[in-house]
């Protein structure tokens, strides 16, 4: 049975994507503590609200049961929001100091405030501009010497330049 090259390529890309995601997840802060289902779900609701306010899909699922660690997919979203807030000079969400339900409630409150900050929303919803990119001008481009407007070089003109 022959393997479809497109399917093999898709499987390879998926495996590489999973490996990259695992590496990125390993860099996330690990939040350990004693958390109730209610506090975790309040945090998830706040994160979903912030994601939706900034143009992302806020579809993190509710958590069932008490836990000693915040789910990885929730931490990914919180880390993204935290990085963006820090980049904009809006402060750190304080992810590293979370140990209990009170800390989760404070984090959820900070995330809700962030989701209502117009500067944050604008920065997250506007396309990013490359700071190194120069603004494009409306001036028409001209062909280099020896190059007619059609794009192919004029061999006679090129020969004359070299003489």
Question: For residue range 25-72, what is the model confidence (pLDDT) as tens digits?
Answer: 666 777 789 999 999 999 999 999 999 998 888 899 999 999 998 988
Q: State residue 23's pLDDT score.
A: 65
Contact 93, 111 (CB under 8 A): yes
Residue 110 is assigned to a structural domain of this protein: yes
Determine the pLDDT at residue 124.
86
Q: Is 161 inside a domain boundary?
A: no
Report if residue 88 sits inside a domain. yes
Task: Determine the structural domain holding residue 76 and report its residue range.
Answer: 23-125
Cβ–Cβ under 8 Å, residues 74 and 44: yes
How far is Cα 80 from Cα 87, in angstroms, rounded to an integer?
A: 11
The predicted model gives 119-130 an average pLDDT of 79
H or E element that contains 35: strand 32-35
pLDDT digit string, tens, across residues 85-121: 999 999 899 888 899 999 999 999 999 999 999 999 9
Rounded Cα distance, 163 and 143, in Å: 21
Residues in the chain: 163
CA distance 124 to 58: 14
pLDDT score at 16: 64
Amino acid 2: pLDDT: 66
CA–CA separation, 30 and 96 (whole Å): 8
State how many domains the chain has.
1
Does 14 map to a domain? Answer: no
In a domain, 5, yes or no: no
- Residue 114 lies inside a defined structural domain of this protein: yes
Residue 156 lies in a domain: no
pLDDT at res. 31: 79
pLDDT score of 1 more than 70: no
pLDDT band at 126 (very low <50, low <70, confident <90, very high): confident
Residue 134 pLDDT > 90: no
pLDDT score recorded for residue 112:
95
The pLDDT of residue 131 is above 90: no
pLDDT reported for residue 6: 75
């Amino acid at each position: 049975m022959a393997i479809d090259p497109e399917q093999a390529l898709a499987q390879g890309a998926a495996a590489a994507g999973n490996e990259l995601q695992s590496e990125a997840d390993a860099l996330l802060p690990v939040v350990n503590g004693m958390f109730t289902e209610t506090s975790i779900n309040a945090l998830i609701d706040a994160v979903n609200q912030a994601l939706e306010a900034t143009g992302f899909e806020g579809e993190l699922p509710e958590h069932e049961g008490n836990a000693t660690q915040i789910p990885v997919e929730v931490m990914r979203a919180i880390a993204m929001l935290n990085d963006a807030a820090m980049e904009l000079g809006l402060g750190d969400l304080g992810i590293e100091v979370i140990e209990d339900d009170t800390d989760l409630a404070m984090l959820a409150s900070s995330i809700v405030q962030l989701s209502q900050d117009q500067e944050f929303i604008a920065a997250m919803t506007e396309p990013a501009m490359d700071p190194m990119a120069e603004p494009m001008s409306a001036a028409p481009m001209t062909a280099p010497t020896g190059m007619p407007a059609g794009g192919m070089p004029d061999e006679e003109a090129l020969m004359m330049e070299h003489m």
